[in-house]
Amino acid sequence: MAGVWEKVNPYCYKISQTYRKGMRVPGIIYADDELIHMAERDRALEQVINVAFLPGIVKASYAMPDIHWGYGFPIGGVAAMNVESGVISPGGVGYDISCGVRLLRTNLIAKDVLPMMGSLMHELSRNIPKGVGSRGKIKVSRREMEELMTKGVKWAIRKGYGWEEDAEFTEEGGCLQGADPSKVSSRAFQRGLDQPGTLGAGNHFLETQEVVEVYDERLADALGLYKGQLTVMIHSGSRGVGHQICTDYIKVMDRAVREFGIDLPDRQLGCAPITSQEGKDYYAAMACAVNYALTNRHCLAHWVRQSFEYIFRKSAQSLGMGVVYDVSHNIAKFEEHEVDGRKMKLCVHRKGATRAFGPGHPDIPKVYRDIGQPVIIPGDMGTCSYVLVGTARAMTEVFGSTCHGAGRVMSRSKAKRQIRGDMLKRELEEKGIVIVAGHISLLAEEAPQAYKDVSKVVEICHGAGLSKKVAKLKPLGVLKG
């Protein structure tokens, strides 16, 4: 793909709309010289070009610096579609619908907790169901799950899980409107009945972390963060429910593409017009998975608070364990954005990308509205994670979006071949990180070497003005499936 892109500035590269016949918009990739070449080798740039073919796409096919190859769309991709003439695509959301991150603050000082970190992680491990196919403490009937899918975290709060104010600090108030359980298959229901409140496996984790760097005191203070503080980060998604809904609707979209005569450069971009019955059905089912994922992280936070209460013999309220924010990574949403001077209703696909609305947006919690929406960027278990806020520039350039994490550089199978889980565990423990893993052999899949440098990814987003750095968090204890 030599000569496919041109460098716009130190943080941005462009693939011209004229590069390939059929592209409706250009490709815009936020990266540096090293990451753009990595994306090229990974075939992810080919996917940026393919997405540019989709009907109704507005402005550009975007990619964040954590871009890597995914199903149809690249992971790290952002594409906004005109709701009248555009399409919606399961590949633009991904299999783990609404995979995302929740950050809890505490009023504990990390260095004071270090002597009991082993006990704390053991208690968290005892309380948090984890691993492939793990079953949770919450088991719901089909009728209850329908309510969960339509009410989101408010269903869980009514059941006694979590705090009333948690919903305000969750994207969409903890419930994406438009969910319709009648559009979800029996198989998806079956897979989700005993999984609310489970961590899962793969890249999902729960970490206790220390705030080791504050870049902007005013922003950090507004988020209730300060240097030396202990925080808890939860990274999980919609489990088997989201995976099954994606699987089901990929088949539906295969048929829809033929029915509507949509010409695609890659079958994995399967889609349907947003206004079609197939498009509406997918959105309604996807929203069910989104609400399942938000509720899942909400319930996990409940077990975290209970674990802290047991170890520290204090209530979670007295430990200051409020939610900083909860934001999803894999989602398609109807949003209003200004395009060429006029407001447009768009369906914004963010696959491995995070919403990052700038200051003043009404969808941001009131207490954060002056500073912009909190953005939580998980790293790998050996280095660090970040907290940022959205910017006005992100609104004008990329529909209020930024990166979602480090981004893989090595497949899971290659990581397992090259890295031994037991040795990795020892290396991390020598760095002072307590590791609790359900399957030590699977730990290697998520080794730091399998990911890009999250600090570099975040620095590009900060330098490009898509989000602003607030704080850096270092892992002290890691719980993996």
DSSP structure class, residue 78: E
Q: Is 404 a catalytic residue?
A: yes
Q: Which of 298, 404, 439, 462 is catalytic?
A: 404
Q: Interhelix angle for 239-259 vs 277-312, to 10°?
A: 170
Is 260 exposed, middle or buried (CB count within 10 Å of its CB: 0-12, 13-18, 19+)? Answer: middle
Helices (DSSP H) in 369-453: which residue ranges?
A: 392-398, 412-418, 421-430, 440-443
Residues in the chain: 481
Neighbouring residues of 106: CB distance < 8 A, sequence distance ≥ 6: 229, 230, 231, 232, 308, 319, 320, 321
Alpha carbons 398 and 459: distance in angstroms, whole number: 17
CA atoms 158, 160, 166, 171: torsion sign: negative
Q: How far apart are CA 349 and CA 331, in angstroms?
A: 6
Indicate the Cα dihedral angle 457, 460, 462, 463, nearest 10°: 160
**Would you name the residues annotated as active-site residues?**
404
